[in-house]
Amino acid sequence: MLKKLKLSKSGYYDYLRRKPCKQKIRKARITIRIKEIHKKLKEIYGAPKITKILQREGEKISEKYVGNIMRENKIKAHYIKPYTVTTKDCDFSSKLEDILDRDFNLEAPNQAWCTDITYIWTHNDGFVFKKNNSLDIKQNIRSTRSTGMHKNSKKNKKNC
């Protein structure tokens, strides 16, 4: 096989006995440390933050080098989308009563109203409730038409 590759026996055995160079040893050590940091921090940190951690530990290293090692080892930072609370229950200390007794067939308009708090999605700001605004829409139960609306700055017990 060495003849087909045009290699000498002495060169092959010299290759087998050769010790790894300092760069390979350093790269292996840093790769292990990057994997430890990445796993310890729940695979959230990417190359910039891992580089800063390694630099604080005394390692002279660049962000590009850390990024290359991460890419070679298929290590990626995972972005976790923040959870947005869309419903915040009011604290009702007493049990709510069903005044209509589930009878929605009313004789005349404006005898009973219902309301719902609606969050408005906007392209720039997301849900309006992020800015502590919501829209109360009052609706006539008999005619199912909106009778009014009110923009609230906070969702609290008074607005529920």
Q: 157 lies in which domain range?
A: 96-160
Token pair belonging to 95: 């049990």
Sites in the chain below the pLDDT cut of 70: 87-96, 114-160
Question: First CA to last CA across the chain, in angstroms?
Answer: 83
Last residue of a domain, one of 34, 50, 80: 80
* Domain-embedded: residue 37: yes
In a domain, 90, yes or no: no
Three-state SS letters, 37-99: HHHHCCCCCCHHHHHHHHHHCCCCCCHHHHHHHHHHCCCCCCCCCCCCCCCCCCCCCCCCCCC
Q: Which of 80, 108, 123 is the last residue of a domain?
A: 80
Q: Which of 40, 56, 80 is the last residue before a domain boundary?
A: 80
pLDDT of 107 reads 79
Q: Report the pLDDT value the prediction gives residue 57, as an integer from 0 to 100.
A: 95
109 and 157 together in one domain: yes
- Beta bridge partners, 87, equal none
Answer whether residue 4 is part of any domain.
no
111 in the same domain as 59: no
Helix (H) or strand (E) holding 117: strand 113-118
pLDDT of res. 128: 55
Domain count, the chain: 2
Work out the mean pLDDT of the chain and round it to a whole number. Answer: 78
- Cα–Cα nearest to 33, from 59, 8, 9: 59
pTM: 0.49
pLDDT in tens, 46-71: 999 999 999 999 999 999 999 999 99
Same domain for 72 and 28: yes
**Domain co-membership, 104 together with 153:** yes
Is residue 27 assigned to a domain?
A: yes
**φ, ψ of residue 62 in degrees (nearest 5):** -100, 160
* Amino acid making up residue 8: S
Give the phi and the psi of residue 149 in degrees, each rounded to 5. Answer: -145, 155
One domain, residues 104 and 150: yes
Residue 71 lies in a domain: yes
